[in-house]
Chain A
Amino acid sequence: MTMALVVGGLFATGVYLMLQRSLMRTLLGLILLGHGTNLLLLVSGGAPGDPPVVPEGASGDGDRFADPLPQAMALTAIVITFGITTFLLALAYRSWRLAGHDEVRDDIEDRRIGTVGERADAEPAALPPDDPAPDVPAPEDPAPDGGPR
């Protein structure tokens, strides 16, 4: 029951954080979500406390052992999540270096296509535009605020 609550809490917090604009928060959300998943994997292997490997002739109850398979899976999953989180961190750092902020922006092309209809209503003769949407910043434009330090 405790575990179920913990897993549920981690999932909820993780998903909430992932819906934020800031890259760092999204990343933290992913990490929490990963922890929740790993705990869930462990729980699926049975109650905690029992040893996964019981050596032959060991003292104690030979019938009581935890399922080793989910533990192996959780280990694999931890390694994978860890590696990719590191990669994401590097990417977030690069994004910060290049753009000077770590916000996820709206997709420029999406915005351009979204406004085509509006502009067409405003001035019907102006379609298709001969130059790509002067009202939308080009992708190369550096952000006005901040900048690499």
Chain B
Amino acid sequence: MTTWLVVLPVLLPLLAGGVSLTLARRASAQRVLTAAVLTVVLADAVTLLLHVDRDGTAVVAAGGWRPPLGIALVADLTAALLLTVAVLVALAVLVFAVGQGTAGDSSETAVPFHPAYLLLVGGIGLAFLSGDLFNLFVAFEVMLASSYVLITLNAGEARVQAGMTYVMTSLTSSLLFLTAIALVYGATGTVSFAELADRTADLPGGVRTALASFLLVVFGIKAAVVPLHFWLPDSYPTAPAPITAVFAALLTKVGVYAMVRTQTLLFPRDDVWWLLVWAAVATMLVGILGAIAQDNVNRLLSFTLVSHIGFMLFGLALSDAAGLGGTLLYIVHHIVVQASLFLVTGLVVARTGTSALHRMEGEEGEGGGSPVVAVLFMLPALSLAGLPPFSGFIAKFALLRAAAADGGAAAWLLSGAALVTSLLTLYAMVRVWRAVSAPAARDAEPVGHGARTLTVGAAAGMVAAGLAIAVLAGPLARVAERAAADLNRPETYRHAVTASEEPG
């Protein structure tokens, strides 16, 4: 039973991706298949989350090979929590994509979209659940390979240009990841997380620091941490709205997750990590200042995405359970909110036919806007800026509380940067809001009523999920706290994996 729960989020999307290719001629069958698979995986992820919360970490040794030799899938609380949120967002974005036409039956892009999308979800699931470093690499590759296809769907010149940048950067970071794996294997003789946690402790200090920094750079590229972020605002905005939404919401977060996982498990530390503190401060400030300079709404949102990656590093840099809990809450909040912002912006861009802010903004009294869309944008925007009572406030509050409890110079530095960034985020969001609330009435392509219901419904669903996070803040924060406590004690992970080696 547990086996199936853990394996399903990886296996089902991968198999369905293959089946989906054979259905290339039957668009509606493809759509139903993708939606059905994602629904099943979502149900499975929720069950897994409840199961792991009750019975502790679930471990599956793939193919019956025991962990040091074989590949283990490990679902601890952190992985299960993030998996659930990720699949939820993937499902909502799928509905939006079908409504908006990227995956609808009228467009040529629908045929490659569905298999690639399923593989993307499978890769993300594998990345969250994987229990060894090399398997994590494979998961990243599955995920990135499908994202290459998605970002260059129906590619014109601009999209090919952006796609090249994106593929080059990702491939380079993957090769660096592989180099890091080779070095880790050379130093310790294993790639299994559970064994590595044991063996890295015995390494000489210099080697340890070198390996930790190497992995930090690798995942820093994938998560777009300043100064490794330059590829993101150039590549994401060119993709169609739903694809940008799913990339922005999930791909960078997988990078952050990998960073959290490797740093807490392999290189645990008790004190504040100054290198990461500076990276977090730089990411927050550079990202948001970049966002303010932008005129293209998608690029603006991409820069705020970079900026808010800094908040996730905030908690990790503090290296204590409270900080990690804040980071987890922030990841959950940000996945949902960033996806809803991109989806709603997609609605507006489809309506006005431009993504440049100064052209989007209409004359006074022109009345091209829709109040529903305006409200849909306002809620996640305020949440992103961290106004109470939205989810952003709760996540930021958890981080700031952790910083106050720590009380060191680094903690105050981080808190200051976080508050300034929140304020500037509000400013950036107000700029977009002016355009979104009263867009110029343009002769955009007419959209069918059913399609509009789907897209607005999906966007509204994401916004509602964001509000639900705020309502469920109590239980969610407790889950995040428990997950962070587990992360902070690598022994828990090790015991869970080694215990599974004994038969039974």
CB <8 Å contact, A84 and B358: no
Q: State in angstroms the CA–CA spacing of A26 and B168 once bound together.
A: 8
Q: A41-B182, A91-B152 known; A98 and B157 CB under 8 Å?
A: yes
Q: State in angstroms the CA–CA spacing of A94 and B149 once bound together.
A: 14
CB <8 Å contact, B161 and A37: no
Distance from A138 Cβ to chain B, minimum over Cβ atoms (Å): 10
For residue B235, which residue of chain A has the nearest CB? Answer: A107
Distance from B179 Cβ to chain A, minimum over Cβ atoms (Å): 5
Interfacial residues of chain A within 28-47, with CB under 8 A of chain B in the complex: 30, 33-34, 37-38, 40-41, 43-45
CB <8 Å contact, A23 and B175: no
Distance from B247 Cβ to chain A, minimum over Cβ atoms (Å): 17
Q: Indicate if A81 sits at the interface (CB-CB under 8 A).
A: yes
Q: Indicate if A122 sits at the interface (CB-CB under 8 A).
A: no
Q: State in angstroms the CA–CA spacing of A8 and B359 once bound together.
A: 51
CB <8 Å contact, B168 and A18: yes
Q: Indicate if A83 sits at the interface (CB-CB under 8 A).
A: yes
Distance from B184 Cβ to chain A, minimum over Cβ atoms (Å): 9
Q: Indicate if B145 sits at the interface (CB-CB under 8 A).
A: yes
Distance from B293 Cβ to chain A, minimum over Cβ atoms (Å): 6
Q: Indicate if B373 sits at the interface (CB-CB under 8 A).
A: no
Q: State in angstroms the CA–CA spacing of A44 and B290 once bound together.
A: 42
Q: Which of A84, A94, A110, A116 is close to B148, meaning CB atoms less than 8 Å apart?
A: A84
Q: Indicate if B294 sits at the interface (CB-CB under 8 A).
A: yes
Q: A80-B141, A94-B155, A105-B161 known; A44 and B182 CB under 8 Å?
A: yes
For residue A107, which residue of chain B has the nearest CB? Answer: B234
Q: Indicate if B24 sits at the interface (CB-CB under 8 A).
A: no
CB <8 Å contact, B168 and A130: no
Q: A99-B157, A129-B358, A139-B157 known; A91 and B163 CB under 8 Å?
A: yes
Bits for B161-176, please: 1 = Cβ < 8 Å to A, else 0: 1011101100110110
Interfacial residues of chain A within 86-145, with CB under 8 A of chain B in the complex: 87-88, 91-92, 94-95, 98-99, 104-105, 107, 109-110, 112-113, 116, 128-130, 132, 139-140
Q: A23-B164, A92-B164, A105-B161 known; A40 and B155 CB under 8 Å?
A: no
Q: Indicate if B450 sits at the interface (CB-CB under 8 A).
A: no
Distance from A135 Cβ to chain B, minimum over Cβ atoms (Å): 15
Interfacial residues of chain B within 140-162, with CB under 8 A of chain A in the complex: 141, 145, 148-149, 152, 155-158, 160-161
Q: Indicate if A73 sits at the interface (CB-CB under 8 A).
A: yes
Q: Which residues of B contact A92 (CB under 8 A)?
A: 164
Most chain A CB neighbours (cut-off 10 Å) among B141, B160, B182, B186: B182
CB <8 Å contact, A70 and B164: no
Distance from B456 Cβ to chain A, minimum over Cβ atoms (Å): 28
CB <8 Å contact, A113 and B294: yes
Q: Which residues of A contact B181 (CB under 8 A)?
A: 41, 73
Q: State in angstroms the CA–CA spacing of A87 and B150 once bound together.
A: 13
Distance from A133 Cβ to chain B, minimum over Cβ atoms (Å): 10
CB <8 Å contact, B175 and A81: yes
Most chain A CB neighbours (cut-off 10 Å) among B145, B171, B296: B171
Q: Is the interface of B mostly helix, strand, loop or mixed?
A: helix
CB <8 Å contact, B157 and A95: yes
CB <8 Å contact, B148 and A87: yes
Q: A113-B293, A132-B359 known; A40 and B171 CB under 8 Å?
A: no
Q: Which residues of A contact B113 (CB under 8 A)?
A: none
For residue B296, which residue of chain A has the nearest CB? Answer: A109
Q: State in angstroms the CA–CA spacing of A44 and B179 once bound together.
A: 10
CB <8 Å contact, A44 and B185: yes
For residue A117, which residue of chain B has the nearest CB? Answer: B293
CB <8 Å contact, A33 and B152: no
Q: Indicate if B350 sits at the interface (CB-CB under 8 A).
A: no
Q: Which residues of B contact A44 (CB under 8 A)?
A: 182-183, 185-186
Q: Indicate if A77 sits at the interface (CB-CB under 8 A).
A: yes
Q: State in angstroms the CA–CA spacing of A75 and B164 once bound together.
A: 25
CB <8 Å contact, A128 and B295: yes
Q: State in angstroms the CA–CA spacing of A92 and B236 once bound together.
A: 19
Q: State in angstroms the CA–CA spacing of A18 and B167 once bound together.
A: 13
Q: State in angstroms the CA–CA spacing of A81 and B145 once bound together.
A: 10
Distance from B333 Cβ to chain A, minimum over Cβ atoms (Å): 28
Q: State in angstroms the CA–CA spacing of A129 and B295 once bound together.
A: 11
Q: A30-B172, A37-B182, A87-B145 are in contact. List 10 more A-B contacts (CB 8 A).
A: A38-B178, A41-B178, A41-B181, A70-B182, A80-B141, A98-B157, A116-B293, A128-B295, A129-B358, A140-B156
A positions within 8 Å CB-CB of B: 18, 23, 26, 30, 33-34, 37-38, 40-41, 43-45, 67, 69-70, 73, 76-77, 80-81, 83-84, 87-88, 91-92, 94-95, 98-99, 104-105, 107, 109-110, 112-113, 116, 128-130, 132, 139-140
B positions within 8 Å CB-CB of A: 134, 137-138, 141, 145, 148-149, 152, 155-158, 160-161, 163-165, 167-168, 171-172, 174-175, 178-179, 181-183, 185-186, 189, 191, 234, 293-296, 299, 356, 358-359
**5 A-B pairs whose Cβ atoms sit less than 8 Å apart in the complex:** A26-B168, A40-B182, A69-B185, A80-B141, A83-B145
